[in-house]
Amino acid sequence: MINSTLFPDVQLPAAERARGPFAAVAIERSLDKILDYEVPQGLIDSLRVGQRVRVPLGRNNRPEHGYIIAIGPTSDYPRIKPILAIDDQRILIPPKMMELACWMARYYCTPLGSVIDSILPSAVKKKIGLGWTHHVRLGKSPEEIQAILEKTRAPKRRAILARLLQIKPGESAELIRIASEAGTRAATVRKLVKLGLITITAEPDFNLPPAYYPKCGPEEAPPKLNEDQVDVLNELSPRIAGGEFSVNLLHGVTGSGKTEIYLRCIKQAVEMGRRAIVLVPEIALTPQTVRRFTARFDRVAVLHSGLPASARHRFWHQISEGKADVVVGARSAVFAPMPNLGIIVVDEEHEGSYKQDLAPRYHARDVAIKRGQLESVPVLLGSATPSLESWWNVKKGSGFGVGGSGQEHGHASTAAHATQSQPTLSHATPYHLLSLPNRVRNLAMPQIELLDMKQEIFVNRRKGVHLISRRLEHMLRVTFDAGQQAILLLNRRGYSNFVYCPSCTHLVQCRFCDATLTYHRSATAKARGGSFDEGLHTGQLHCHYCLGVNPLPPACPDCGKKLSLFGLGTQRVEEELARKFPNVHYARVDSDTMRNAGDYEKILSRFAKGEIQVMLGTQMIAKGLDYPNVTLVGVISGDTALALPDFRAAERTFQLITQVAGRAGRGDKPGRVILQTFIPDDPTIAAALRQDFVGFASSELKSRQEVGLPPITRMVRIILRDEDLAKLHEKSEKVAAAFAGQIDAEKSNVKLKGPMPCAINRIAGYHRAQILLFAPTAPPLQRLLAGVRAQKGILSSDRIAVDVDPVSLL
């Protein structure tokens, strides 16, 4: 793979050049460089691209971990240090994954070492769960050992020494074997280490015990596909058989049988001897979906955050050896080291959780597409509410160029040039739209009913706080009386999100963030029947940004008068539900109550058995639930997400309402949705009411086009933070100037906005500023970022975050 033409023409005088071969090593700890190292004689035969090694770094040669990204005969650098050791003999990053990592490093503007670091599970790096065997090597020549043997009296030691003489120099033998053949114990053999006669090293045993493939009873016979499904499958099938890259967006309304399509596609791939990766937004929240995969296929590795480290390592190892046919997992499963991939499925492709909010800030859907391209396999994206990015890509009939421009990073390595030449997605990226416009078994779409909360409060003159309207209350009663179940959505946790003083209008804010505090009642007061006042005494104020928790002040800190609670949260709905329906069993599902992966599963199984009549929660309950007895969905406040200062607020609102509405009426009984809102005329609410994704998408795309926002443009967000406001200003002006200068120098068409304060000005004591970059396509942005980075205009430091294709703008 390595050939000399890949290495630069700069040739040093022979005398100054160190002797090759050399290896380019990406240092694991976000060092912004790739460094060349000498390959010592002893490692020449065993060193491979993709291995993890230890190398000396810095003036005092601190040993650091890194990854071999290329091996070649020459290097530009006269003084080169040798690699210290191979940390793991396995090729942890196979060639295609290395290409993917290089692409991510460029595209997401993150050092290659830290990209690879995040691709590999830490259990793999730390070799957790491996058995270790101890190997003995000779520390002296056989002649010396022979001489010692002749002088030794002790019979056990003589036996050991005699046995040692059978080890050839350079070879090793297992410690326990030597001990047993010499008729002694390992501890006795070990004593020879101190005398310098032998060395003992622990070596990993890669025969990992198998990980456990979850199994759940045999599946009922798969359903017979309906006509729409047959059409979709007929279109996909040749693409799977053809083994070519394509991106297929399956837009299917909720309950249209999308998952069944994924299952059939995977079956076809598996029957061809190929393998599949299935990404789901969050394993813990989609147990039903996951079970359908484990029920249909035999070797399904489910990767979830609750796996013990050793199981994680075993799965990873088994997957890399091709011993799993299907991998199901959240975001990071896109890096599963599957050989011979046949298809990648991204379920609920619009989900924000596919974006990682720490560096590398990658989007798993986009990485999946890039991986599909590198491995020449079809990628299947599915959703009832596709992201506007994907929708736009299909609509304009060409790729959105998830491809960098192949620009260089200005790193220090010359050997690394070998990795700079991979393909990028061209404008001809084959995007296809497939649709399932109807629910399976001719089931009706749920009927959505709008409830104007202004009317409810001002016209009906209801006393007190009622988050549940009379209409919703009535429908809940009807539902419970009929022995059916309901889901209530409120996208905000806690009890109330404003604590304020009615006398002086003081609003209690977080000391460290530019945000109001949310009042949470304490767990003890949560017990049903606990009075509101009781809760008040034991509750606390939480900051949802810095996660700080404070006591509720006994009175207004400014004027000493009594504080009031205002605004709504799931705890408050829970309280109201308990008051209105004292005999109904309910469960609250939000990140406060669901602390462990198992909590949600337990609730769901009780819900499935009918032990719980209503589930109330945040967007957690909007995902993938399929319970035929759910006939009513109540959206407590359709407006909550609309108010967020983010250009995707409307898109999110539409998605959330459509997704949660889709939980209703999945059985034979028709479903009904009550959508409460203060702004019934809002176009997003109106589109959600009509369940008109296509209409919503085209009007939303039009307004994004008018103001030049993604997906029509590509965007990069640079977030700076500092405890000192003046320093932040200074720094952000400097960074913005570096970008502006580079834009001029390159005559780039990138538009720069800022620096300006972030929507949330301060988080956890840090002031925040942002710079936004826009361009019609991705390559100019990539070029610009690389250029500014090469000029040291942005350094990898924790106070500057570069977010390419950001999904959140708070």
Q: Which residues bind ligand ADP (CB under 6 A)?
A: 223-226, 229, 252, 254-260, 440-441, 626
Does 546 engage in binding with Zn ion (CB under 5 A)?
yes
Does 543 engage in binding with Zn ion (CB under 5 A)?
yes
Tokens of 454: 């202004």
Choose, by CB under 5 A, the member of 53, 115, 369, 513 that binds Zn ion. Answer: 513
633 versus 736: smaller Cβ distance to ligand ADP:
633
Shortest separation between residue 442's beta carbon and ligand ADP, angstroms: 10
Shortest separation between residue 351's beta carbon and ligand ADP, angstroms: 14
Could you tell which of ligand ADP, Zn ion, none binds residue 259, using a CB distance below 5 to 8 A set by kind?
A: ligand ADP
Per-residue exposure over 107-128, b if at least 16 CB sit within 10 Å of its own CB, e if not: bbbbbbbbbbbbbbbebbbeeb
Distance from C-alpha of 50 to C-alpha of 577, rounded to nearest angstrom: 57
Does 498 engage in binding with Zn ion (CB under 5 A)?
no
484 versus 742: smaller Cβ distance to ligand ADP:
484
249 versus 543: smaller Cβ distance to Zn ion:
543
Collect all residues with Cβ–Cβ distance below 8 Å to 648 and sequence separation of at least 6: 807, 809
DSSP state, 508?
-
145 versus 620: smaller Cβ distance to ligand ADP:
620
Shortest separation between residue 436's beta carbon and ligand ADP, angstroms: 7
Shortest separation between residue 774's beta carbon and ligand ADP, angstroms: 35
Does 512 engage in binding with Zn ion (CB under 5 A)?
yes
Could you tell which of ligand ADP, Zn ion, none binds residue 512, using a CB distance below 5 to 8 A set by kind?
A: Zn ion
Does 541 engage in binding with Zn ion (CB under 5 A)?
no
Tell whether the torsion through CA atoms of 786, 791, 795 and 801 is positive or negative: negative
Could you tell which of Zn ion, ligand ADP, none binds residue 510, using a CB distance below 5 to 8 A set by kind?
A: Zn ion
381 versus 425: smaller Cβ distance to ligand ADP:
381
Distance from C-alpha of 214 to C-alpha of 290, rounded to nearest angstrom: 10
Q: Directed axis angle between helix 778-790 and helix 95-107, to 10°?
A: 80
512 versus 581: smaller Cβ distance to Zn ion:
512
Antiparallel, parallel or unpaired: β 52-57 and 62-72 = antiparallel
User: For residue 328, which of 288, 359, 361, 360 has the smallest C-alpha distance?
Assistant: 288
What amino acid occupies position 772? Answer: L
Could you tell which of ligand ADP, Zn ion, none binds residue 469, using a CB distance below 5 to 8 A set by kind?
A: none
Distance from C-alpha of 370 to C-alpha of 366, rounded to nearest angstrom: 6
Shortest separation between residue 281's beta carbon and ligand ADP, angstroms: 13
Distance from C-alpha of 62 to C-alpha of 203, rounded to nearest angstrom: 23
Query: Containing H/E element for 264?
Result: helix 258-271
Shortest separation between residue 699's beta carbon and ligand ADP, angstroms: 25
The span of 5-13, 279-287, 382-390, 537-545 binding Zn ion (CB under 5 A) equals 537-545
The total of other beta-carbon atoms located within 10 Å of residue 12's CB is: 13
The span of 54-62, 84-92, 508-516, 595-603 binding Zn ion (CB under 5 A) equals 508-516
Label residue 133 exposed, middle or buried (CB < 10 Å: 0-12, 13-18, 19+).
middle
Site for Zn ion in 171-210 (CB under 5 A): none
Distance from C-alpha of 560 to C-alpha of 554, rounded to nearest angstrom: 9
CB 278 within 8 A of CB 262: yes
541 versus 568: smaller Cβ distance to Zn ion:
541
Shortest separation between residue 500's beta carbon and Zn ion, angstroms: 17
Shortest separation between residue 655's beta carbon and ligand ADP, angstroms: 14
Alpha carbon distance, N-terminus to C-terminus of the chain: 45
Could you tell which of Zn ion, ligand ADP, none binds residue 59, using a CB distance below 5 to 8 A set by kind?
A: none
Does 760 engage in binding with Zn ion (CB under 5 A)?
no
Shortest separation between residue 546's beta carbon and Zn ion, angstroms: 3
What amino acid occupies position 446? Answer: P
The span of 70-78, 504-512, 588-596, 607-615 binding Zn ion (CB under 5 A) equals 504-512
Shortest separation between residue 512's beta carbon and Zn ion, angstroms: 5
Q: How many residues appear in the chain? A: 810
Does 510 engage in binding with Zn ion (CB under 5 A)?
yes
CA contacts within 13 A on the Cβ side of 277: 32
Tokens of 597: 């992966």
Could you tell which of Zn ion, ligand ADP, none binds residue 225, using a CB distance below 5 to 8 A set by kind?
A: ligand ADP
Locus of tokens 């176009």: 683
User: 276 has which bridge partners?
Assistant: 326, 343
- The residue count for binding Zn ion (CB under 5 A) is 7
Shortest separation between residue 217's beta carbon and ligand ADP, angstroms: 15
Q: Point out which residues bind Zn ion (CB under 5 A).
A: 510, 512-513, 543, 545-546, 548
